[in-house]
Structure 1
Amino acid sequence: MPVANVTTIQDVARHAEVSASTVSNVLNGRGDRMRPETRERVQAAIAALQFRPSKLAQQLKTGQTPLLGLLVPSMANPMYGFIAREVESCAQERFGLRLLIGSTYRDAAKEAAFFEDMLAHGVRRVIVISSLAEERHLESAVERGMAVMSYDRRATPGQPSAVGHVTPDNFEAGRLATAHLVAHGHRRLAFVTVAGMTMSRRDKMAGFHAAATAAGLAGSAKVLDGGPLDEYGDSVIAEVGRAMGLQLAADPERPTGLVALNDLMALGLMAGLREGGVAVPRQVSVVGIDGLFLAALSNPGLTHVQLPIREMAQAMVEAIAGEGAPPPEQIFRQVRLVERASVAAPPQ
């Protein structure tokens, strides 16, 4: 079988009547160091020969690949698809980086294994979404030359870290969702979550309790735990919400106002309540926290707290792809309530 001719950098150099190093300078953005007519001649030769530089050769030379790693709890959760889209858009348009995605199910061992694979393949920039309390494996990756950003987690107080952190104001998100239910007259409140305490979940619950306490409801506000997720983690959180909705539908003393851990759980809650014969919002009101596009498509439309996803994604990419070390912590406080039809006054 005949082997196709491959255009090399030497072919471009001969065509443009310059040295191979001159072609390399043009390819690597150093064309301002030469005369304009020389740069134009090289660019014309590249176009005429349809030359494409070898990515493998670039990796061998620099030890890096033009890739940005993104580790998410589960690609089955559409919220992480939304974040990935925003990260990829900024990474490609601003820095010419492609995205490499993996699911970790909030497992530190899986995250550490992904770091090993990425280091071996020349990936030196990674964004991690897990919010785990322990980040020693992230620190280890930084010590080995990787730039790491942690999403939806604050920096640990009193512990200097080379890992960058970007997070929404989860406390305010939980407080805002709860205050909205209180403003509609709800006195029996509950925060619906799953087992396993991440920093973001803890902050949302703290905001929930703060709003309940401010309304004089500290003694009656509950936290309802749907139990541990299976090995698929966040991908089954809607089903956990549905099961909890069915349980609540059978409870005559159920809370009338529910704040869900996130939008996917809120949608599951509404489905379970509906299957159990309980109407939302006539009998039970539900508020989510995220900004998931499905919230506007549900029936009824889900009231939720919108997080600044696009702004946070851009901040992470800029911090990890730019010059210097990522900032230790950036908290985005511009969370806002989006009212739809899932909240009403409690039944009399």
Structure 2
Amino acid sequence: MANIRDVAKHAGVSVSTVSNVLNGRTDQMRAETLVRIQQSMQTLNYFPNRVAQQLKTGQAKMIGLLVPSIVNPSFAALAREVDLAAKKRQFRVLIGNTYRQIEEEEAFLDDMFSHGVRGIIVAACDIEKAHFARAAEQGMVMVNYDGRMPTRAQSDHYALDSVSMDNIEAGRMAAEHLIAQGCRRLAFATVEGMTPSRAHKIEGFLRAVQYHGLYREGMIIEGQAMAAYGDTEMTELGRALALKISQQPVFPDGIVAINDALGIGLMAGLHQAGIHVPQQISIVGIDNIPLAGLVFPGLTSIMPPLREIAEVMVDRLIERTENPDMPPEEFLFSPSLVSRQSVR
């Protein structure tokens, strides 16, 4: 089935230009461009309003979920919980895999409009980008996941909810656990490319080490991703960082990983380098993905209450779709520690 990107390519225009046609914004468009797009839609049998008409009859209910990469186990776990929460309310979930690329995010938003979807969960993306603001102004209800409330959230046309684990507390809790178990030379392993949630985890980590007088230069160890932000390559990045750490003259005795996938890759790389976890280096991950309890040694991790988070996000989407005048709210969930064998 053709989508909006296929129409744009066939007509030789941008996705946003096709979106303007779908949403009736053609007053500034050249007549020949409009005709070319309409002909492309007919040629490709692209009928964007078909599902929207079905929605009006009450025969289908859908919400959208935009994630950077479903390959990342953290986002896969989120998608599962959102899907389960939606099904309990007789809704289905359409997932957009955008790799944090603006064109893909814009295309996903346009696809949601064309399918009649009026509520989406935006996971771990910069919700203050212009295309999200435009979507909100056009009536799209959004929940911002894994980020704090945007500064523009109180504006008349940009009201949205923010739902997240307390990432500052997650970073602090991970560092505190390592310190309590006797670690004194700590490090935080992450990937280049800062997002709000990553910055908050690092902030919490630094608060803990500074409080205990353990701060030193070079505590943040970053890996270079092949693609921006490294969402699809976390385990490989962890393995590469392990090699980097093993070559240091004095390596850390406790490491907080930005997420479990990177932490698992880190453990595999350290094992290959002949460094024993947890005897020589203790490791704590963040997210508590299912694989964390299956690897050896089991990865100690900071766990978000993902099921409760998903329930709130789906409920708020449905409620705000039915009542757009509801004031925006921020929901911040406390993390918890799941202790396994990766910490001495």
TM > 0.5? yes
The yes-or-no answer on 1:302 pairing with 2:299 is: yes
Q: Distance in 2 between matches of 1:320 and 1:156?
A: 17
Percent identity among equivalent residues?
46
AA aligned to 1:335 is P
Give 1:111 shift: 1.0
Deviates more, 1:218-227 or 1:161-170: 218-227
The equivalent residue for 2:16 is none
1:159-186 CA-to-partner distances (Å, cap 9, x unmatched) read 5241221111000000000001111121
What does 1:324-339 correspond to in 2, within 5 Å?
324-325=323-324, 328-339=328-339
Q: CA deviation at 1:85?
A: 1.4
- The RMSD of aligned alpha carbons is 2.2
Unaligned runs of 5+ in 2: 1-49
Residue identity in the other structure for 2:188: F
Which one of the candidate residues 165, 171, 174 is aligned to 2:168? 171
8 A Cα contact 1:288 1:302, kept in partner = yes
**What residue number does 1:70 align with?**
65
Does residue 87 in structure 1 map to residue 87 in structure 2? no
SS at match of 2:69: coil
SS of the equivalent of 2:231 reads: helix
Structure 1 residues 68 and 218 mapped into 2: Cα distance closer, same or farther (>3 Å)? same
Distance 1:288 1:118, change over 3 A: same
How far apart, in 1, do the equivalents of 2:52 and 2:94 lie? 20
- How many residues end up aligned between the 2 structures? 289
Partner residue, 1:319: 316
Distance 1:190 1:327 in 2: 40
Q: 1:247 to 1:196 in 2, by over 3 A?
A: same
User: What SS class does the counterpart of residue 83 from structure 2 fall into?
Assistant: helix
Distance in 1 between residues matched to 2:218 and 2:51, nearest whole Å: 58
In structure 2, the residue matched to 1:186 is 183
CA distance in 2, matches of 1:63, 1:147: 19
Q: SS of 2:255's equivalent?
A: strand
- Structure 1, unpaired ranges of 5+: 1-54
Q: Does 1:149 align with 2:143?
A: yes
Give the Å deviation of 1:112: 1.5
Q: Which runs of structure 2 are paired with 1:230-249 in the superposition (5 Å)?
A: 230=227, 233-249=230-246
- How far apart in 2 are the matches of 1:224 and 1:57? 48
Q: CA deviation at 1:337?
A: 0.7
Counterpart in the other structure of 1:52: none
* Correspondences of 1:74-223 after superposition (within 5 Å): 74-94=69-89, 96-132=90-126, 134-157=128-151, 160=154, 161-220=158-217, 222-223=219-220
Partner of 1:264: 261
Moved more, 163-172 or 221-230: 221-230
Q: CA deviation at 1:225?
A: 0.9
- The equivalent residue for 2:287 is 290
**1:25-36 equivalences in 2 (<5 Å):** none
**How much has 1:268 moved relative to structure 2?**
0.6
Distance 1:64 1:166, change over 3 A: farther
Contact 1:229 1:237 in 2 (8 A): no
Q: Which has the larger radius of gyration?
A: 1
Please, what TM-score do these two structures have when normalized by structure 2?
A: 0.79
CA distance in 2, matches of 1:183, 1:197: 28
Aligned to 1:269, the other structure's residue is in SS state helix
**SS across alignment from 1:235:** coil
- 1:133–1:199 CA contact under 8 A, matched in 2: no
Q: Distance in 2 between matches of 1:193 and 1:343?
A: 19
Asked if structure 1 preserves the Cα contact closer than 8 Å seen for 2:260 and 2:287, the reply is yes
Q: Is the 8 A contact 2:144 2:163 kept in 1?
A: yes
Give the direction of change, closer, same or farther, for the CA distance of 1:141–1:200 in structure 2 (3 Å limit). same
- Distance 1:291-1:147 versus aligned 2 partners, 3 A rule: same
1:4-15 matched pairs, under 5 angstroms: none
Do residues 228 (structure 1) and 225 (structure 2) align? yes
